Structure 1
């Protein structure tokens, strides 16, 4: 069965939402990392985005457990891949914002694996 030349989408992409213990803290971190404003914030949810564009959401989960990557006892459910021009400079800035280096660094000359303040792994990549 052929698809129409210009199919009508079933849905609109709004956001990827991460569970965390403190939505305000994680929204502040990613707001600074991505230079995006926090456009919604409550005690239980925060959204970082430009108005009318997809963004990143952060949802409070009272029994949140930090991922233990690379150990899989508490697996990561997702991670972000962020492009950078200078790995060392980006890593230094991200450390100042609250990120830490993950124990495993499979390709440190091209990609660095960091953990956000809630423990979610994310990569910065050339």
Structure 2
């Protein structure tokens, strides 16, 4: 092993706004915040990974489902109820893509990164 996993960093144009969105989606606390960088940490000490957001000038969001500007990463967020979770993510700024099945739905975060709400069948 060369190292240990530490942080997932998403590029965006507004780190503060995207950090607030993901705190609503995933929980945690914003630990560091300025105009170029924001970090969310789990509420339990020592837990990983961190989720961080860095400002990129002239940021271009991924084009999904197209590939003119391909997605580089997406998050799957496990939920108990897809309908309730959809209502909640839309309320905090997500956008519906219309893609999905009865076990997952695809959304865009406020910076255009795709993410999925998942509810695997039992």
Instruction: Compute the TM-score of the two structures, normalised by the length of structure 1.
Output: 0.87
User: For each residue in 1:33-74, what CA deviation from the matched residue of structure 2 results, as whole angstroms up to 9, or x when unmatched?
Assistant: 111100111210101112533211100001100111101111
Secondary structure of 1:46's match?
strand
CA distance in 2, matches of 1:27, 1:12: 23
Structure-2 separation of matches of 1:125 and 1:106: 9
Partner in structure 2 of residue 52 of structure 1: 46
1:111 aligns with 2:101: no
**Residue 122 of structure 2 corresponds to residue 125 of structure 1:** no
Query: Where is the strand percentage greater, Structure 1 or Structure 2?
Result: 2
Tell me how far 1:10 sits from its aligned partner. 2.5
User: How big is each residue's C-alpha offset from its partner over 1:73-107, in whole Å with a ceiling of 9 and x where there is no partner?
Assistant: 1111000011001000000000000001114x142
* Structure with greater Cα Rg: 1
Give the aligned CA root-mean-square deviation in angstroms. 1.1
**Whole-Å Cα distance in 2 between the matches of residues 120 and 12 of structure 1?**
25
- Compute the displacement of 1:110 (Å): 1.0
Compute the displacement of 1:14 (Å).
1.2
Structure 2, unmatched stretches of 5+, are: none
- Alignment gaps of 5+ in structure 1: 1-8
The answer to which of 84-93 and 94-103 deviates more is 94-103
Q: TM-score, normalised by structure 2?
A: 0.90
